[in-house]
Amino acid sequence: MRMSPKPVQTFRDDFTYSNSPGAVARFPFPFPEDEYRYSVNIEPHVTPGPEGSVFEFLLDIDEHYLSEMAERATVLEENPKRCLAMPHMDLACWDMIERCMTSLAADYPEHFSLQVDGDQWTWENRLLNIKDSFTFGDSSTLPLPPMEYMGRQVQGDFALLDQRDGDLFLDAGIVTCPADWSLAFDAGMSFSEWHGPVPLAHEMGVFDRALKYLTAIPVGRPVRRLNWTLTVNARMDTSPETYPNWGTDRASVTADNVGEKVHLRVELQVLDRMPRSNALMFSIRTFLISFDDLVTNPDWARRMHRVLKTLPPELIEYKGLGRYHDLAVEWLSRFDPAN
């Protein structure tokens, strides 16, 4: 089911965010088995994927588009440093503009259009009432720096990874809905450095294999993976910079409000090679679903219980679930006939 954007809902304060039945049906549930363990779970992002699914196109636009763009604007107003691009990444930022604009115009022509006459481009985003003409490659002809201009019009966080010396470096990005990581802190880090805090995976060689795979991605062959955690309340911005705003949320979960408060947070991560700069465009599209909505699918409810019940202690701690993990497992147990 393709989703049309609905009026703005909130990811903070009164948390008016909700999923329609259609949004629940297309949610990218991330667990293929009853136990979760780290793996190099990367696969080709072949498009078009199944019609109406989150995998149909390179970039997914759904009913939360206007809400997420409003949240992004709020975060950037609070902290402009949540968007940055090092000077040598200018060409990569224009690569991103081309990839996003051409994809959106082709896949969602009812919402976006692009006219190209040599290096003279005209872009229209009817959802946000934006129409701009500019000279491709000339940042002075845009109303905002290239990364911010495009980043304010696409759902999910974006990072541009510069590839050099056989490694990947996080040298540009717009990150306003992260799962407990900071663009300002990680900027300039190598692939292994920004994954340093992750437990177990280093010992298993997961990141060494992943880096070898990612540095070999060719142009026109994007890949994807799903990542997950749990979030209390429908809060998009769980960055270290805003920890005072959300850290105490974890203590607010009780046996009576698990279904309402605890959300499965899934990231659809896509890596796409840019043709001019050779950078990798790394999109991190976040989906949230409350446990109340999740358990409307009996298969998901049963598997979610088994995944959390068997989660290693190191991952419980790393994902910040310690305060409410047992409550969540107990609440989900009623949906697992084998319990």
Query: 265, 233, 253: which is closest to 329 by C-alpha?
Result: 253
Indicate the DSSP class of residue 11.
Answer: S
Check if 225 is active-site: yes
Amino acid at 78: E
Amino acid at 117: D
Q: How far is CA 49 from CA 44, 53, 58, 267, 273, in A?
A: 11, 7, 9, 17, 19
Joined tokens for residue 81: 């440093």
Indicate the DSSP class of residue 339.
Answer: -
164, 221, 225, 302: which one is catalytic?
Answer: 225
Q: How far is CA 248 from CA 237, 251, 303, 308, 318, in A?
A: 14, 6, 28, 21, 17
Helix ranges (DSSP H) in 201-256: 206-214, 243-246
Query: 46, 95, 59: which is closest to 281 by C-alpha?
Result: 95
Which positions are catalytic? 225
